[in-house]
Amino acid sequence: MMMTPGSGGAVGEPAAAAGGPAPPGEADRPEHDPPVDGAPGPQPPVDLLDPRNYINRELSLLAFNARVLEQAKDPRTPLLERLRFLCISSSNLDEFFEIRIAGLKQQLALGMAKTELDGLSPAATLEAVSEAAHRLVAEQYRVLQEVLLPALEAAGIRVVRRQAWTPAQQEWVHAYFSREVLPVLTPVGLDPAHPFPRVLNKSLNFIVSLEGSDAYERTSGTAVVQVPRLLPRLIQMPPRIASGPNDFVLLSSVIHAHVGELFPGMRISGCYQFRLTRNSDLWVDEEEVDDLLRALKGELPGRNYGDAVRLEMPVQCSPYMAQFLLAQFKLSPQELYKVDGPVNLHRLSALYDLANRPDLKYPAFSPVPRPAPDLFEQVRKGDVLLHHPYQPFTPVAELLRQAADDPNVLAIKMTVYRMGAQSPMAEALIGAARAGKEVTAVVELRARFDEATNIDLATRLQEAGAKVAYGIVGFKAHAKLLMVVRREGATLRRYVHLGTGNYHTGTARAYTDFSLLTCDERMGEDVHRLFQQMTGLGRVVQLSKLLQSPFTLHTRVLELIDQEAAAARAGRPARIVAKLNSLSEPQVIQALYRASQAGVQVDLIVRGVCCLRPGVPGLSERIRVRGIIGRFLEHSRIYYFYADGQEVTYLASADWMQRNFFKRVEIAFPVETPVVRQQVLEDGLWTYLQDNVQAWDLLPDGTYRRSAPEDAAPARCAQEMLMERLTGG
């Protein structure tokens, strides 16, 4: 936790004078990281709109998931963590189909075949993505069957196949099926009176071919068995029949072994798992509904039954059954994914918790606990900077809890994107409202896959007496803001929290993010105006310090990039460094290309999608792009510009994407106090540029190459360095 003196201010007091210590000199900057002097020599003109200068967004996202999968192959990673990375790559791919592929298919269906900057139409993108996704899925299952399952078995953790069950295990499995599974299964024989049942998104199902006639002389020959989600997909065998304490069996194997009991007197000629992925993006015409909460609540059940986008079946499935299901769901053969294993890899993630093997996981880590003093007094002494998860999220939650209990606190205002309805922060906010404080919550109901949770929280807040707004029509409220108004003597002082991540105490332990607690007067005034804007009506107001989407953030980022380019052309030092989750906005990419051509050294740390093509002669040879994939999900956004030595630095909630600049309410907040700025730069940027263990460098052809220590150079892992530096562990 970093505190700096002299940044506090009460509402109504004059702002502190600008100034402070000079920024560090070039000798203090890491050797790999100097600003670049002078512009390059004359270059032939380059067409910035040439499609070859851009990487397709969907293919870039698949490449990210391939890098996640590489973590599952890395023997340096603990074995159960490798399994977890495999499952993450699988669940990421699910969402990719549910949202991205579904969106492309909708564009084609509606005749909205817009060609992106990379030159690919939606149809061409779908074709390219299908090829890449099939390769990725095949590699996922190869890693499972050839690498992870054998390694787990060698470590004493077995997923026992049906063919390997002992007689005692067969007896136990049959008893389990009869007791726990059979009572909740409802087979559906297909005939004119029993049409094909509705299949839930991503649910486990079986298609069964039968021979013979039943009690009613029906001979349709085909049935569907849908498996309820309430049944655990991974079942631990009891010690008395297992070869060790960590023997498991898949529910799909249990059902497959006993599916004949669902159809007495019939002969099973084929039984195959299948899983359907559907379009899961919710759409509500916000301008046509009277109550967004009620409209979204009505749409949520439909998410499970959107248009089909992918069918998964085992490699052993019969061609007839595969074609039958493809026709049933109106899918093409390219949308069939044959897999060598369970149709939902993500379900294997249960092994991580069920197997009691801490030696096969990352060493236990938790931020160093800190006392919870009077946070208002602490913030008055100076800004508090927190780098999560290396430093605890507790002070942020504690500020809200203290505000809820403090009789001097008059009002609390907060944005909610992802929080969790039962989180401590949610309870504190509800408690403050019940205590009679003026509580305002801007709850973004359309936070994807958190809609139900946010609807529940919004309802509970309203019942407690809080004022709840659902963001702004047409724009997602993605900014992370908390403001507490407190009476202190004759003045009212605003305490604010601004962050790069969500108010979710769970993700704060797994995501890297920055938090800033401050009572800077001008920052507080800006946050106050933003809440007025989000809950009321009025024209755009000028903010003193914060940048805001959809109004000033995009324009200012372009200006700052262009200023670096102008400095380089004039022969002055120039530098841009940014850490992002995604980079795809065309104007920003083109501005970065121009900056590179002018002589600016640009370093981009981009975890996921990057549509910029670095290292292209005459276009981007001064741009380097790398992504970090490790124990924690890299989530913080940092923008750095050398700015003739002023080192303009912002923390932000926004990536450099069109949606963040133009379709969301986002903020970027300056880090101005020198000691705080230096911590952000050192811990958030320079350390990541030194990483040669978990970094992946993007090459001009769009592929990624994993960094490795050169010769006798020491290994540097940014996340491990930060754990040691900030926690002493």
Residues 728 and 391: beta-carbon distance below 8 Å: no
DSSP 598-650: HT-EEEEEESS-B-B-TT-TTTTTTEEEEEE-SSSEE--EEEEE-GGGT-EEE
Distance CA 47, CA 53 (A): 9
Distance CA 106, CA 112 (A): 8
**SS3 labels along 168-199:** HHHHHHHHHHHHHHHHHCEEEECECCECCCCC
Look up residue 668 and give its amino acid.
A
Structure letter (DSSP) for residue 571: T
Kindly report the backbone phi and psi dihedral angles of residue 709, in degrees, each rounded to the nearest multiple of 5, phi listed first.
-60, 135
Distance CA 620, CA 614 (A): 5
Distance CA 581, CA 634 (A): 7
DSSP 130-164: HHHHHHHHHHHHHIIIIIIHHHHHHTT-EE--GGG
Nearest 5°: CA angle at 311, between 307 and 314? 165
Judging by beta carbons within 10 Å of its beta carbon (0-12, 13-18, 19+), is residue 480 exposed, middle or buried? Answer: buried
Q: Which residues, including other chains, have CB under 8 Å from residue 283's CB and lie 6 or more apart? A: 299
Which one is catalytic: 346, 387, 478, 554? 478
Tokens representing residue 601 in the block = 């050294």
Distance CA 127, CA 630 (A): 31
Can you say how many angstroms the Cα of residue 243 is from the centroid of all Cα atoms in its chain?
Answer: 39
Sheet holding 234-236, edge to edge: 158-159, 247-250, 234-236
Give yes or no: 478 in active site: yes
Look up residue 624 and give its amino acid.
R
Residues designated as active site:
478
